[in-house]
Structure 1
Amino acid sequence: MTIDWSRERILIFAPHPDDETLGCGGLMSKAKEAGAQVYIQFLTVGDTKDHSPKGVSTATERFGEIKEVADFYRWDDWHIAFPGDEYHLRLDAVPRFDLANAIENDSPLSIAEIAPTVVVAPHRSSYNQDHQVTAEAVHTALRPSNARLRHHPRIVLAYEEAADQWRYGEAASPDLLVELDDRHIDAKIAAMRLYGTQVHDHPHTRSEQTLRSLATLRGMQAGVVAAEGFHAMRIVA
């Protein structure tokens, strides 16, 4: 199938700042290049202990990084639904009702407010609890119903990240591959560099080599130079 990205209004759900770039940085570059609208709904951000020399990345630092990445990609808007250490890496303690309502109706970038034609969210197979509950809450918010009463995006996708395969049992392979050119992958890498507190040297799931390798693998599977893989939850032609 061929998607005319110039006509799409895309709403991407990211549990944390950088997930949108890791999962669909190439797609964002391709879509904005074509003229699409792109909105990013982050779920949470807070201070995070890490393996950097400083040992922590602060919410203030990450807000600054978001602004740089937003300018780089020319997002139409972005928002954080549950900011602060009370929620960061603790979204599994938030009632599903509250998460789904924020996603569906209550956030300034909710599905009801933006009326997106395309929704993209993380895949449930992630080991990260914030990713899991975000995926499930988006799934709930997009439940089938009367499209005359509730907005139904034509396309609903789940993006993958390199570490999603780290789980018990077999993780399903993506069933939708979006072809990308080298410039789209270069843009993805450049955006990740702007997330300076989150990017790492190889071997790491957020290293440049990992991102390029996954794009090359998905491209090979599609017979093209590069691609990003997605799980199709709904496609209405």
Structure 2
Amino acid sequence: MKRILIIASHPDDEVLGCGGVIALASQKGYSVRVIFLAEGVSARYNEEDFKDNKIIKEIENRNKNAYKALGYLGVSEKEIFTSNRYCCRLDTLPQIELIKDIESHLEDFRPSMVFTHSGDDVNIDHRVAFMSSLAALRPIKKSNVSDFLTFEVLSSSEWNTLRPFKPNYFVDITKVLELKIEALKLYDKEVKDYPHSRSTEMLTALARYRGSQSYFKAAEAFCIVRKIENSL
């Protein structure tokens, strides 16, 4: 049975980047674990306000939404790991802290597939997530991981026009696109009105566009960082 690990910076990144894959994997009976490296709220406030009860409640609400959204996609509550590391400040932490966190999940969960952010995203936490995952996933000891891929996140990936996301792996999500859309809506404060890139209209448009690149009605697209086969 496949075991899939999603390494996301903030709650909602996992739905935006690979909500379709999560839904498909859950429907097939695969084990899916999602870990978040940071919360997704505090970057909107001044640092001196971080201990304010309003912000603390917003972080708690964002984490609750993660459980709702991932539960909707079929992920077991015990396989969801939130974090209270401050948003958009992962670059201020010793990278070894994040690497060790990821390594602990690799050893405990033993995934065969790992998905994380693109290293070319504009969001700093996304780039740190990629570099930390890249370090943790070095094939320097025996591992179950055969597929290491990165996903795109609307409102971050598309802004790097000098190094755009260039996918080379596509998954048909036609049957679960609506599940992905509904899961995103459970992050009620994160969904914006069109033409904002983090709108349901744009999420649908991207799925249709990636589908047209792979001859599906809707698809999610990924970049293969590493694929390892035991034999041909």
Write the letter of the residue equivalent to 2:170.
Answer: L
What SS does structure 1 have at the residue aligned with 2:127?
helix
Q: Does the 8 Å contact 2:184/2:191 carry over to 1?
A: yes
Q: Deviations along 1:145-176, whole A, 9 cap, x unmatched?
A: 132xxx24011110112331312523241000
Q: Give the counterpart letter for 2:107 in structure 1.
A: A
TM-score relative to the length of structure 1: 0.86
Q: Tell whether 2:210 aligns with 1:218.
A: yes
Displacement, 1:66? 1.5
Q: What percent identity do the matched residue pairs reach? A: 31
Mapping of residues 37-186 of structure 1, within 5 Å: 37-45=31-39, 47-48=41-42, 49=44, 58-76=58-76, 77-80=79-82, 82-84=83-85, 87-105=86-104, 110-147=105-142, 151-162=143-154, 163-167=156-160, 169-181=162-174, 183-186=175-178
Amino acid at match of 1:192: L
Q: Given that residues 142 and 152 in structure 1 are in contact (C-alpha distance below 8 angstroms), is that contact kept between their aligned partners in structure 2?
A: no
| Distance in structure 2 (CA, Å) of the matches to 1:36 and 1:116 | 10
- AA aligned opposite 1:83: N
Q: Shift in Å at residue 96 of structure 1?
A: 1.0
Paired position in structure 2 for 1:29: 23
For 1:82-106, what per-residue CA distance to the aligned partner results, in whole angstroms no more than 9, with x for missing partners? 414xx2221010111111111112x
Letter aligned with residue 22 of structure 2: M
Distance 1:97 1:27, change over 3 A: same
**Cα contact 2:117–2:129 (8 A) shared by 1:** yes
Q: Secondary structure at the match of 2:213?
A: helix
User: What is the one-letter code of the residue matched to 1:99?
Assistant: L
Q: 1:46 deviation in Å?
A: 5.3
Q: Which residue of 1 aligns with 2:184?
A: 192
Give the aligned partner of residue 17 of structure 1: 11
Structure 1 distance, partners of 2:103, 2:144, is 11
Following superposition, the deviation at residue 69 of structure 1 comes to 1.3
Residue type at the aligned position of 1:129 = I
Task: Give the ranges of 4+ consecutive aligned residues of structure 1 lying more than 4 Å apart after TM superposition.
Answer: none
CA contact under 8 A between 2:118 and 2:165: conserved in structure 1? no
Contact kept, 8 Å, 1:89 with 1:129, in 2: the verdict is: yes
Q: Distance in 1 between matches of 2:228 and 2:37?
A: 27
Give the 3 Å change call, closer, same or farther, for CA 217–46 of structure 1 in structure 2.
closer
Report the equivalent of 2:51.
none
- State the AA in 2 paired with 1:190: E
The answer on whether the counterparts of 1:13 and 1:41 sit within 8 Å (CA) in structure 2 is yes
1:12-64 C-alpha deviation (Å, 9 max, x unpaired)? 011000000000011111111111111100111154438xxxx9781021122
Q: Please say if residues 9 and 36 of structure 2, whose CA atoms lie closer than 8 Å, have aligned partners that are also in contact.
A: yes
Q: How many pairs align?
A: 216
Instruction: Tell me, in whole angstroms, the C-alpha distance in 1 between the residues paired with 2:70 and 2:214.
Output: 29
Query: Per-residue CA shift, 1:151-202, capped at 9, x if unaligned?
Result: 2401111011233131252324100011122x31100000000010111111
- What is the deviation of 1:139? 0.4
Counterpart secondary structure, 1:202: coil
Answer whether contact 2:120 2:163 (CA < 8 A) is retained: no
TM-score by length of 2: 0.87
